[in-house]
Chains A and B, each alone.
Chain A
Amino acid sequence: MVELKNVSVTYSNGVDALNDVNIKIKDGEFVFVVGKSGAGKSTFIRLLLKEIEPTKGRIQVNGFNLTKMKKRNAYRLRRTIGCVFQDFKLIESMNVYDNVAFVLRCIDASNKYIRNRVPYVIDLVGLKDKAYCKPSELSGGEKQRAAIARALVNDPQLIIADEPTGNLDPALKHDIVELLQAINDCGTTVIMVTHEHEIVQEFGGRIISMQDGRVVFDDIIKSSYDLERQ
């Protein structure tokens, strides 16, 4: 569960990035967070990863009270979260298998577990044939699938996808969101940050819209597919 109570963030340069924000996301939800540049989406994500501290308010993520948690213990929180980024953040010198296995190395998983788990997850995202390719040998969509496999491999409670379709062709965007929805169907909470309204309208669901550091809309909308059926 993710819960922000009266959270405000003011950066050292005086900019109010978030202003008295209240958000509650239950386990197993799929939420789109939308808003223009500067709306506070990135600050929201950085707070959830304990990259920054709130100026005011209380944050709870996956059972951790982030307000009380010390920065040096942030790794415990992050091991329960999978991150997918717009620029993929894959290590160029490693192949897909090693990029995915890297997460399990970081959490000190056994070699046996890594050998079993990594091929399974790579297969799950449809990259079985590309497991030993370097990121430079992959298309944008494949890179994002590799990044999703990496986010998924340690079986996180929450996946945060920050503009995961930002660098992709329209057809691939649809595939990536479908993949994230499939992961969500298995019980993982997914928070997808995007500024692409077409995707949100296409898939529907819970939408949190932000503007000038405030939540201006938080409700469920129907997908264009549902609307067409009506």
Chain B
Amino acid sequence: MKLSGVNYLFRQGVRNIWTNRIMSVASFCILMVSLLLVGFSTLFIVNVNSIIGGIENKNEVIIYLDDDISQEKIGAMENELRAIENISDVVFYSKDEAFAQMKSEMADSEELFQYVGEESPLPDSYRVKVENIEKMSSTLMAINNLDGIYSVKAPNDFVNVLTELKRFISLISVTVLAALVIVSLVMISNASRASVEMRKREIEIMKYVGATNAFVKTPFFVEGMVIGILAGAVSAVITLAGYSKVMEMIMSQQSLWSAIGSGGFTPTSSVAVKIVIGYIAAGAVISAVGTVMSTKKYVKV
């Protein structure tokens, strides 16, 4: 095809947006609503997962050591603990450190410590973090197999609830997202089909005068892509503005984020680029492919 031909097809595609402006606006709006629905749902799911991840990271197992354990054995145990799969962080607390911490945490109950005396009644301990709480029971089994352990304190109930919650949220997220994507595709497909239906006569004429299928489809492809890029860009701006506002509101609620931890939320800056690229790419591809697919029926003349 000559360069003038390619140029003509691209100009024709862009011009068609204005010529069929009512359908173009309808396609734009439907695409934008679909992108916003899927986008906001994805962000919600990302944040829920991030919050659960944050809680997971706080999950700590305390390993109390036997009273008569030697210093060499304590040192060796650190390496043994680090060697266990699924343990990410190992910190030793001597009995004195643990006692000092207890005192500081219970500063209001000073009289209680008068009966205890100056010597720490607590054992030496290791505090370890578990990477994947779903593997908690196998990790605890590995810890209990080590020598010199008095007892192990793990948040079993909390872990079970969190694991169940995570599974439930994952299932709901996938179902809701899949449903939204299907609804969006149906809406977009109907919009582009209606837009093409209005121009079936034009396609019919093109075919009668000897246009190739590529010649017929290219302006529709360009038109769909331009509408998709515009809808993607506008959706990205709306999403970023909305998301920033929500984050601002959450951060202003100190009680909320101190309960969850401010790190539990995904900040706007870390999703901004992904949102812009994702929205524009998804908008362009879905709209262009959807529009071209809708012409299929009519190019069979």
Q: Which residues of A contact B (CB under 8 A)?
A: 49, 51, 71-72, 75-79, 81, 83, 89-91, 93, 102-103, 105-108, 110-111, 150, 154
Contact = CB atoms under 8 A, between A and B. Distances in A.
Contacts of B100: none
Contact of A76 (B2, B209, B210, B301): B210
Given A51-B301, A93-B19, A111-B4, A106 B211 contact: yes
Interface stretch (B50-58, B171-179, B200-208, B226-234): B200-208
Interface residues of B, number: 21
B155 to A, nearest CB: 66
B62 to A, nearest CB: 73
Contact of A110 (B4, B207, B212, B301): B4
B213 interface: yes
A78 B210 contact: yes
Contacts, number: 53
Contact of B202 (A51, A78, A91, A108): A91
A78 B209 contact: yes
Contacts of B5: 105, 108
A102 to B, nearest CB: 7
Contacts of A89: 201, 204-205, 208
Ranked nearest first, the 7 interchain pairs of A and B with the lowest CB-CB distance are: A79-B210, A106-B211, A78-B210, A103-B209, A108-B5, A75-B210, A75-B212
* Interface residues of chain B: helix, strand, loop or mixed (majority): helix
A108 B210 contact: no
Given A89-B201, A89-B204, A91-B205, A75 B4 contact: no
Contact of B211 (A75, A93, A150): A75
Max chain A C-beta neighbours (<10 A), residue from B201, B204, B205: B205
A97 to B, nearest CB: 14
Contacts of A110: 2, 4
A106 B208 CA distance: 10
A111 B202 CA distance: 21
Contacts of B213: 72
Given A51-B301, A91-B202, A150 B209 contact: yes
Nearest to A108: B5
B215 interface: yes
B76 interface: no
Given A89-B205, A93-B19, A107-B211, 14 more contacts: A71-B300, A75-B212, A83-B208, A89-B201, A102-B205, A103-B209, A106-B209, A108-B1, A108-B5, A110-B4, A111-B4, A150-B209, A154-B209, A154-B210
A169 to B, nearest CB: 24
A51 B204 CA distance: 11
Contacts of A71: 300
13 contacts: A51-B301, A78-B207, A78-B208, A79-B210, A81-B210, A83-B208, A89-B201, A89-B205, A91-B202, A91-B205, A102-B209, A108-B2, A150-B209
Contacts of B211: 75, 106-107
B214 to A, nearest CB: 10
B257 interface: no
